[in-house]
Amino acid sequence: MSKTLIIGAGGVGRVVAHKCAQAPEIFSELMLASRTKEKCDAIAAELPRPVSTARVDADKVPELVALLKDYKPKLVINVALPYQDLTIMDACLECGVDYLDTANYEPPDVAKFEYKWQWAYQDRFEKAGLMALLGSGFDPGVTNVFTAYARKHHFARMDQLDIIDCNAGDHGQAFATNFNPEINIREVTARGRYYEHGDWVETDPLSWAWTYDFPEGIGKRKCFLMYHEELESLVRHFPEIKRARFWMTFGENYLKHLSVLENIGMTRIDPVEFRGQKIVPLQFLKAVLPDPGSLGPLTKGRTCIGNVIAGEGKDGKAKRYYIYQICDHEEAYRETNSQAISYTTGVPAMVGAAMMVKGIWHKPGVWNMEQFDPDPFLEELARRGLPWKETFLD
């Protein structure tokens, strides 16, 4: 049905390539590109059908444009670094190609992510007749669609939203991150932020916590309040929401190591002088930490990501509702050679791309996931490996 270019050959890129390759009726031709072509070649060798590979520096618009003009894809799936969103969007505009990513733009020199930079592309994409779908991962992504689904089917009004991300897996390493260490640590060490009654309230990093009892035997886990990008778009598109928060679980061992690294300056993102060269401590730390891609065969356990929503039901009564998805690390690895963190991001990227390619979700402009009909996405999500469940709590 379409030629698709995947940019990025990390754990998520591997999952996206596997899942797209499993659907030749949707993705008729595939190319995988990254700065390191050897990584692309290694992933291509795992796939059930031939996939082209290429080298491209996603920081450089001319290189991206040259690749797009040569390959002529219908869609670019961007699973590179968030720093590279804008250059890839620029290249798509120049070449007339639709765009999808899994995380919003983040400037390299400031640990801050927000949608304003990408939302500013709305007029340009609309005038070009092109579509950009932002945040088609799990959180953001599926959590946005969960919210839209709850509003469509169960709520006359949503008052409170809590997005809760639990990784109950164990990789046995002293300290490692389940996705890009630089992005992960920037996110975790940033100040917390939540939305309440029309204002954003800031907290010290990881200073707020609560215990949540997760379903299906995962049990009670301590969750910490963080800021996450989907909150920004959700309160914009569902202005009825009075309070929106994001929570993530962390083990004591992870927090202990992170605290030490932060205290000695290894999580800094500003350059320091070392033997006559400028280096960024966090980038050096990334180089010495375990590659997240190496954790796949080591990780056991499950993830559980979902939304707890409170408000007025369509019957006029107060309701509390939970919609969630549980993914097994070992099952994800058996299918795609990646653990569940990459799997739960890569599968929604493939499903969002399928929605666009098939024309189910397609209109010119720049859009967030919750702005489309949630039903076909969630049906395809379950069919492609991430079945979800819902329950009323009260």
How far is 368 from 234, CA to CA, in rounded Å? 9
Q: How far is CA 290 from the centre of its chain?
A: 21
State residue 178's pLDDT score: 61
How far is 234 from 241, CA to CA, in rounded Å? 8
Task: Find the range with the poorest average confidence among 151-165, 166-180, 275-289.
Answer: 166-180
> pLDDT tens digits, residue range 301-310?
999 999 999 9
> pLDDT tens digits, residue range 303-329?
999 999 999 999 999 999 999 999 999
pTM score of the predicted model: 0.93
How far is 389 from 229, CA to CA, in rounded Å? 23
Owner of token pair 């039901």: 313
State residue 179's pLDDT score: 63
Across the chain, what does the average pLDDT equal? 93
> pLDDT tens digits, residue range 21-60?
999 999 999 999 999 999 999 999 999 999 999 999 999 9
How far is 333 from 343, CA to CA, in rounded Å? 8
State residue 211's pLDDT score: 96
Q: What is the mean pLDDT of residues 356-362?
A: 97
* Confidence tier at 378 by pLDDT (50, 70, 90): very high
pLDDT > 70 in the chain, percent: 96
- pLDDT for residue 109 is more than 90: no
Cβ proximity of 245 and 234 under 8 Å: no
Cβ proximity of 390 and 322 under 8 Å: yes
